[in-house]
Structure 1
Amino acid sequence: MADCFTTLARILTLPLVSIDILPGYGHEWVDADADASLAPFLLKDGNLGIPQKALVQAYFVAIESFKFARKRISIDQFAVEDAVSSSSVIVLTNPAHTTALDVRKALVKRKVLDAKKELEFTTALLTIRESSKQSIMWHHRRWLLRYIFTGDVTVADGDLTDVHFPPDLFRREYRLVSADCELYDRNYYAWAHRSICSRALVAAISSSTSKDEASQYMSVLEDEVNGMRTWIEQHVSDYSAVQYFHNLHDYLRQLPFSMIETVLPLISGTNSMLSHAFPLLRRYADHESLWLYLRSGISFVRDGDEWPREEIQQFAQMCASSSGPLEGKSIAFANDPNKIGRNARLFLLWLTRHTGHES
């Protein structure tokens, strides 16, 4: 058991791209090219495979080592090293272990752990499904981001708008969230992290000191808006994505008036949320998330703007009565007309309240 712990702790100090927990002891995963010194763990091109049985053994040793190290961490260098090793195995096994994460924060502040390497470690941890579901893990990541770029960790979690991040950092965080949301559908905490990053991106655009800098951030924003449209098309039942995209539009409308003209082409006209939502709904009318998406699109229509209210209303009324296929394409309509009818009736009630006109 101690050997498993020592080997795993050593591996966790290396740069890692991803981590997978493998069933059993891992013997069936070993190939001829595997590094025997890393057994029973498998490491190839930064991708780490950890047999479940070996992880449990290492965890038991880590817990005992951590208890002892915490008591002597302020006076004993060996205890500091044990705290680093044991806490890495603990947060790998139990990503919601607040005490272990707090110790790692303290070690970052003491310069025992390098903050940037710790951020890379959390990137690898967040490739594990169970880790990506833990709010405390995302909190730890934001704490590190703030510490790296400001050295100040006194501000409450949930706001990074006062931190000046480079454009590429936003792209990296967006990629991480997208990967995690593929691992775990409707990952609320991952989407919350994305939302916090987007607020920071909008703040960066607002505070840009040059056209070149603003242009770089705008490029990130444009990719994010277009990428989210594609994401919703490919994940039509993702409520969290729809909610995030709604929030993103809200943030953009809070930009200074001088910048609104630059942003409007991204989110108006044929690029508006409504223009995207309605055609999607016509194809996949059994997905409640798309009815909510359509509501969001309508809610952003400004007074005086033209929008296909009658066409949308007629479509919803047809769905509410469950009469016939939608454009000849809706297989889902034929399979579950009751679900579509229920969603359509709820939408029509909302539309009446929103517009003040009977549907």
Structure 2
Amino acid sequence: MESLYSHLTHILNTFPISEIDIFSIPIDAPAPADEHHPFLLFQENHQLAIPKKVLLGLYAHLTQKLKHHHHHSPLETLHMTRILLIQNPDHQTALSLRRKLIPHNDHQELLKKELELTSLLLSISSHAKSSSLWSHRRWVFHALFHQAPATRLCHDDESPILQDAIYQPHTHAIPLTQIEKELAFNLTACDAYPRNYYAWFHRKWIMHQLIHSTPSSASSSDHEKEQACDSERTRLLHFLSLHPRDHSATNYISFLITTTTIPHATRVKFIQDVYTILAQYPQYETVWSFLKFITISRTITIREMVVLLNSHPDLSQLLHSLNNDDNFSMFVTHASSASGGHNTLAAQELQVRERSLILCLRTLYFIGSHFQWAEWTDDVALFLLLRLPPPAILSSPDQPPFSHSLHTKLKSLLERFIVR
């Protein structure tokens, strides 16, 4: 194992690796005539593939070796912990040792290499959602650009989450080129691992550094900041069109809408663009969560929300279909005729429609209760929670009965959200 450790360390130190993959090989696979065996090195693409079995053996070997790290040089300890993190990105001992061994002052090159290492580790798809790695990456940024003291007074209009120490702007603003590079890298991690909460949280942090950098420390003008925010909104629209179910992405968009200072017309246009993308998939909860957020947070007025809701033809048709007395009565009082055992296209389409309808009603009832357009009652809430496809649930004997009074409450509420 020691020879394999030396071999892998040599490869990592010698070649500019930008991506690592961990793969499985058959036990009886013949050994290729390659100087880097058992590792696969693709120098043109800067990629390295490590056999899973070999990595597990190295992990066990280096775990024992690390127990005596005080007998090794700091450089050797950094080499050992690097390989441990390739196998286990949440190895707290390895990360803690690296933070202790890498000095902050006058060692910019070491810190830049540590930033490159976290990029390499996060390139592994299974590691892209490691909270420890993203936290360690922020530590590197703090060390590179010197975070301001946590005692900074917060403005009264700042939200409580932005008063957290992790969001405090740095004494030396992160250069705009570095921020753009970080945003591009971060988006690859968000794409590699769906609904990557920790990657999106890191994106909030890096954008906050840009938005709230002080004039005295800013490395870019206000105009350049505005351009960076415009580019960010464009990137997000493209990402959302590819990942309409990503709740973490819509949560980040909500963060961006409420924390960036932009003209009202620009804000409304961005909200409309986001809604246009999400409204194509009414069977997903993202569009309804987004509508609830921008309405409850008063980002837009209730009137603007109603107009927005009706602006997409699919959702407008959904609302008018519900508003039809016969359709509404049939929907709320009868279980789906589609059987869970019949996986036909027609059955799937019916399930998608029913899911869209009930998510729509849930959202309208939630907003209506918030603005006191409707009284929050347990019977309606219970009905809306349980009345959700698949049909096996709809036809369950535990499904609550739907009374005439419930019908009247929901029907009158629905009227408020329809533009005629």
**Range class of TM-score, shorter chain:** 0.7 to 0.9
User: SS of the residue aligned with 2:191?
Assistant: helix
- The question of 1:293 aligning with 2:290 is answered yes
Q: Of residues 86, 102, 107 in structure 1, which corresponds to 2:101?
A: 107
Name the CA distance, whole Å, in 2 between partners of 1:85 and 1:345. 57
Q: Is the 8 A contact 2:41 2:47 kept in 1?
A: yes
Look up the SS of the partner of 1:50 in the other structure. strand
The amino acid across from 1:236 in the alignment is: P
Q: 1:191·1:244 contact (CA, 8 Å) conserved in 2?
A: yes
- Cα separation, 2, equivalents of 1:285 and 1:161: 38
Instruction: Give the 3 Å change call, closer, same or farther, for CA 66–347 of structure 1 in structure 2.
Output: same
1:317 alignment partner in structure 2? 319
Gaps of 5+ in 2: 152-163, 329-345, 374-412, 415-420
% identity of equivalent residues? 22
Shift of 1:39: 2.0
CA deviation after TM superposition for structure 1 residue 123, in Å: 0.3
Q: Hey, what does 1:256 align to over in structure 2? A: none
Indicate the residue corresponding to 1:223 in structure 2.
Answer: 231
Size of the alignment, in residue pairs?
A: 333
SS in 2 for 1:16: coil
Q: How far apart in 2 are the matches of 1:277 and 1:332?
A: 26
Which residue in the other structure is 2:49 paired with? 49
Partner of 2:203: 194
Unaligned runs of 5+ in 1: 73-77, 254-259, 325-329
3-state SS in 1 of match to 2:50? strand
- Asked if 1:91 corresponds to 2:85, the answer is yes
Structure exhibiting the larger radius of gyration computed from Cα positions: 2
1:233 maps to which residue?
241
Is the alpha carbon distance of 1:29 and 1:150 closer, same or farther for their aligned partners in structure 2, counting shifts above 3 Å? Answer: farther
For the residue of structure 1 that corresponds to 2:194, the secondary structure is coil
**Cα pair 1:333 1:340 within 8 Å, conserved:** no
TM-score, reference length from structure 1: 0.80
Task: Output one character per residue of 1:280-309: Cα deviation in whole Å (capped at 9) or x when no partner.
Answer: 344211111111123334441148868616
**Which residue of 1 is the match for residue 2 of structure 2?**
2
Residues 40-82 of structure 1: CA distance to partner in whole angstroms, max 9, x if unpaired? Answer: 112223211111111112212211221111x33xxxxx43233
Quick one: which of 272, 280, 283 aligns to 2:280?
Answer: 283
Residue of structure 1 equivalent to 2:124: 128
1:142 paired with 2:138, answer yes
Structure 1 equivalent of residue 18 of structure 2: 17
Answer yes or no: is the 8 Å Cα contact 1:143–1:157 preserved in 2.
Answer: no
Is contact 2:59–2:84 with CA below 8 Å preserved after alignment? yes
Matches of 1:64 and 1:173, distance apart in 2: 35
CA 352–114 in structure 1, closer or farther in 2 if over 3 Å, else same: same
One-letter amino acid matched to 1:348: L
Secondary structure of the equivalent of 1:43?
strand
Paired residue secondary structure (2:221):
helix
Aligned to 2:352: 336
CA distances 1:18-56 after superposition (whole Å, capped 9, x unpaired): 111111279979877x5x0x2211222321111111111
Alpha carbons 2:150, 2:168 under 8 Å: kept: no
What amino acid does structure 2 have at the position aligned with 1:174? L
Partner of 2:259: 251
**What's the offset of the Cα at 1:276?**
2.3
Name the SS of the counterpart of 1:109 in structure 2: coil
Q: Which amino acid aligns with 1:161?
A: P
Deviation of the 1:178 alpha carbon: 1.4
The alpha carbon displacement at 1:343 in A equals: 0.4
Supply the distance in 2 between the matched residues of 1:183 and 1:319 (Cα, whole angstroms).
38
Q: Report if aligned partners of 2:210, 2:225 keep a CA contact under 8 Å in 1.
A: yes
1:170 aligns with 2:179: yes
Task: Quickly say closer, same or farther: Cα 1:25–1:265, change in 2 above 3 A.
Answer: farther
Question: 2:31 & 2:357 partners in 1: Cα distance?
Answer: 53
Residue of structure 2 in register with 1:257 after alignment: none
Residue number among 348, 351, 363 corresponding to 1:347 in the alignment: 363
